[in-house]
Amino acid sequence: MPADRLDLSDRTGLRRVDAKGKVTGATIYASDVGAKDDLHAVPILAWDGPGRLVSIDTDEASRTPGFYAMFTSVDVRDGVGPGTFLYDGGHFHSSFSPLASDEIRFSGQLVGLVAATTPEAARAAAALIRLRVERRSAQTMTRTVSTNDIDTYPREGLDPFHPQEPGHTTVEAHYQTAEQFHQALEPYSMRAAWNGTRLSVHNGSQWVVGEAMGLAEALDIPVDDVRVVGPAVGGAFGSRVLLLWHVVYVAAAARQLKRPLRLHVDRPVMATLGSYRPRSMHDVSLSLDVHGRIARHSHHVRTQTSISDVVPLRGLEYATQIYEIGETNYRESVVRCDVPTPGFMRAPGEYPVAFALESALDELAAQSGTDPVELRMNNLAPTDESSGGGPVHLKECILRGAELFEWAARDVRHGAMTDPSTGETLGWGMAVAHYPTYGGGLTRCRLSLSPDGDIRVDLAAHDTGTGLASAVALEVARILGAPVSSVQVGLGDSALPLAPMAAGSSSTRTAVAAAADAARKAVSLRRHHPELQTFEVAGEHVPDGMDARQLAIAVSGRFAQTGAKARTEGGTQLRMSVGAHFVEVGVNAMAGRVRVRRMVGVFDVGRVLHPSAVISQLEGGMIWGAGHALMEDALMNPATGRFLGTGLADYHMMVHADVPLTTVEVLDKPDPLSASGAKGAGEIGVVGSSAAVMNALHAATGVRVRRLPLRPTELFAADVQ
C-alpha cells in the first residue's frame, strides 16, 4: 500500500484526536468558560411578532432576587452600530440588527437580554418580563406565486423550449421541503469579557476570524482588539458560519455592565436566533425521448427569505454537470416573508434541489418503465478526469452501490417484496448525490517542534465535529514519520494564523494542505539542520484559481467576499464530489408505520483524509436525509409566521433507535487537482438521501410523496395493501 493511502477498513485503528476529550467530558466548550465574577444573561424573544414593540414591562422581573440589568434597544442606540450582511461583503448572518429599533420583523425575534447573578435568576426574571406588541398579520410562503418573489437566477429572462418531438415521456410535478432547525448539541451559549478596550468572546464558531471582524465593525473597535475563541464546537452544520446579532449584544452589554457576561440559550430559542433551512417549493418538468435520453429539464425553485435579506439558494445548474440534458430552463426565486433570515444548513442549495430532481427522475423511470439505475447511467454527462469536469467516478459509485445493495434482486411490482417476520412491505429506491468542490480560502498555519519531540500545529480553523483536527494530525504525523499521538492541533482562535470559515465542505482539505506544506518544510529543515532541538515553520495553502485581488482580500481575512460572490453569481464549479444512495424502506400498513431499514451509500470524495471522520460525515448526512424524509418539520403558523414545536421534545428527528443499517463506502481516489488530493466530504452525504427514501416508498406502495416530511395520512389514506 503506498504511504499516502490508508486502510479504510480500519475504523478503530485511527482514532479521532478529539474523541477522548468528548466522551470523558474533558473537552471545554464556549459555554463551559466562565469566572466567579460573571453575570448571566438569557435572551428575550417577541413570539407575538411581527409588529411593533410598544413596551417592555420589567417591574416584576426586576424584583426577582439576583436580577441585575436589562439590555434593550435603548442601550443599543449608543453602543452598537450596523453590521454588514454576508452577501454585501460582510460577516453577518443578517443585515437586520433586531434591537436597533422597535420593529419586530418576525415571531421569535430577539428584543433584549436580561442579566442576573446566576443563570437561574436570569431565567426566573425573564419569565416575568411582559412585552406589549402591536401585531400585524404576517406574509408567509404559499404555493401561489406572490408579488414578493425576487428572481435570483437567472438574471435575464428564460429561453423558451423548442417544440417537443413526439413520443416523449414527460413528468411534471411539484415538490416541497419543510424548514429545518439547527439544534446542535451545543446551543448558542457564549461568553464575552472586556479587558480595558480589548474584547474576548468565547463562542462555538465556524469562522472565528469572520466573527472577530464583524464584532469590530458593529462595536466600532479595531479588529486587533477582538479575539474570538471557539475552543471546541458541539455541532455546527452551517449554524455558526456567520455572526449572529446576539453575540454582538452580549459583547456590548458586557462593555456597558463592566462585567463579563455569559449567555445561556435554551432549545426553543435556537429556532429564531440563528440560521435555518428555509422551506422550498419546486416546479419540475422532465422529458425522456424515445431513445431514453433526457431531452428537457425545467426547474423553478422558490425558497422563503426574510424581509431583511435576500438569501439565494443556488444549486439548480449542477443538474447539467451530472446529467447530459438536451434543453434546460432554470429559475430560482426567493419570497420575502415575515420570518427570520434563513441561512446555511448542510448542502443548502444542493440538498433541496436534489430532492426534487432525483424524485422527478424516479418518476420518469417509473413512467417509462426504465430501471432508475439504468436511467441515470444512460444519461450521465461526459467526464474529464484531467480537468475534473463532469461527474468523475459517479459511474463507479452507482455500480458499486447497486452491487452492495444487491439491487439486481429488485422486484418492481409494488407490494411484491415483503418481510413476513415484520409484516412489512418493502421498497427499494436510489438517488444520486453531488456536492461542488469549492476552492476554499487562504489557509496558513504554524508548526512547532519542542525538544521532547512534541509537534504542534496551530491555525484559526475549526473542528466542528467533522474531524479536521484528526485529519491534520494524521497528515503531519505521516509526513514527519511521527506517531499521531505526538501531534497536537490548536484551532478555533482568531489570534492564530489565518484560516477560512468551516463551510462549503472545504476547510479540512485546505487545512490539511497547509499543514502538509509546513510538515514538508519541517522535514527539510531537519535534514539540513539535524542539530536543531526545537523550531517553528509556517505553512500556507493558496486555493487554485485565486487571483491577486482575491488573495489580497483573503489575506485581510475577508474571505467571504470571494466565496459568497462565486455563489451568488452562479460561478461555475465544475469539479464535484459524487455518490449514490440505495435505500430499503419497510411499510407496515397495519401499524401505520414507515421506517428506513437499510441505506447504502458509495461516494467519491477524492482522497480520504481520515477514514472514520469521513465515513461518519457521510453516514450522518444519509441519516439526516432519512430523518427529513420521515420526521423533521418545523411547523409554522402561516398566519403569524410563528414556528411551533421548537424544542427537542416535539421536533422529531432520527434518534439511535430509528437509524437503519447503514453501509458507507468511499472510493478513495486522490483528486489530481486538489493539493491534498481530497474533495469535499462534509455535505454530500445528505444530498439525494431523502429522495432515495421517497423513491423506495413509492416502490413499496405506488404512492408518490412529493412533500417532505411524510405525513402518515398521505400514505395510509391512499390505497395500500
Smallest distance from ligand MOS to CB 507, Å: 9
Smallest distance from ligand MOS to CB 621, Å: 11
Residue number, 97 or 206, with CB nearest to ligand MOS:
206
Helix segments in 113-242, DSSP class H: 119-127, 208-219
Residue 523 near residue 441, CB atoms below 8 Å: no
DSSP track, 109-130: EEEEEEEESSHHHHHHHHHT-E
Smallest distance from ligand MOS to CB 686, Å: 10
Gap between the Cα atoms of 646 and 221, Å rounded:
36
Touching ligand MOS, residues 309-338 (CB under 6 A): none
Smallest distance from ligand MOS to CB 82, Å: 25
Residue nearest to ligand MOS (CB): 238
Smallest distance from ligand MOS to CB 353, Å: 14
Residue number, 233 or 457, with CB nearest to ligand MOS:
233
Residue 609 near residue 678, CB atoms below 8 Å: yes
Residue number, 469 or 480, with CB nearest to ligand MOS:
469
437 φ/ψ sector (left φ>0, alpha ψ -120 to 50, else beta): beta
Among 187, 504, 543, 579, binds ligand MOS (CB under 6 A): 504
Residue number, 504 or 677, with CB nearest to ligand MOS:
504
Smallest distance from ligand MOS to CB 177, Å: 15
Residue 577 near residue 606, CB atoms below 8 Å: yes
Residue number, 240 or 698, with CB nearest to ligand MOS:
240
Helical axes 689-701 vs 611-630, angle rounded to 10°: 50
Residue number, 260 or 315, with CB nearest to ligand MOS:
315
- How is residue 604 written as a grid cell? 467519491
Among 131, 178, 503, 715, binds ligand MOS (CB under 6 A): 503
Size of the site for ligand MOS (CB under 6 A): 10
Among 45, 124, 208, 241, binds ligand MOS (CB under 6 A): 241
Residue number, 617 or 701, with CB nearest to ligand MOS:
617
**Per-residue CA distances from 312 to 14, 144, 568 (Å):** 39, 19, 7
Which of these segments, 233-241, 279-287, 644-652, 687-695, binds ligand MOS (CB under 6 A)? Answer: 233-241
Phi then psi for residue 3, to 5 deg, are -65, -25
Which of these segments, 141-149, 237-245, 278-286, 475-483, binds ligand MOS (CB under 6 A)? Answer: 237-245
Smallest distance from ligand MOS to CB 490, Å: 21
Residue number, 237 or 249, with CB nearest to ligand MOS:
237
The SS3 call for residue 493 is strand
Residue number, 306 or 505, with CB nearest to ligand MOS:
505
Residue number, 344 or 716, with CB nearest to ligand MOS:
344
Which of these segments, 234-242, 285-293, 475-483, 566-574, binds ligand MOS (CB under 6 A)? Answer: 234-242
Phi then psi for residue 58, to 5 deg, are -110, 5
Residue 78 near residue 36, CB atoms below 8 Å: no
Helix segments in 280-391, DSSP class H: 319-322, 350-368, 372-377
DSSP β-ladder status, 294-306 and 487-490: unpaired
Residue number, 189 or 206, with CB nearest to ligand MOS:
206
Smallest distance from ligand MOS to CB 506, Å: 8
Smallest distance from ligand MOS to CB 148, Å: 25
Which residues are 652's β-sheet partners? none
Smallest distance from ligand MOS to CB 438, Å: 9
DSSP track, 277-310: EPPEEEEEEEEE-TTS-EEEEEEEEEEEEESS--
In the block, which residue shows the cell 440538498?
A: 351
What mask, x for binding ligand MOS by CB under 6 A, covers residues 337 to 356? Answer: -------xxx-x--------
Smallest distance from ligand MOS to CB 238, Å: 3
Residue number, 71 or 344, with CB nearest to ligand MOS:
344
**Per-residue CA distances from 77 to 70, 223, 251, 321, 411 (Å):** 14, 21, 14, 49, 67
Nearest to 560 by CA among 52, 85, 164: 85
Among 238, 312, 427, 606, binds ligand MOS (CB under 6 A): 238
**Measured distance between the N- and C-terminal CA atoms of the chain, rounded to whole angstroms:** 52
89 φ/ψ sector (left φ>0, alpha ψ -120 to 50, else beta): left
Touching ligand MOS, residues 598-617 (CB under 6 A): none
Smallest distance from ligand MOS to CB 567, Å: 10
Touching ligand MOS, residues 187-226 (CB under 6 A): 206
Which residues form the interface with ligand MOS (CB under 6 A)? 206, 237-238, 241, 344-346, 348, 503-504
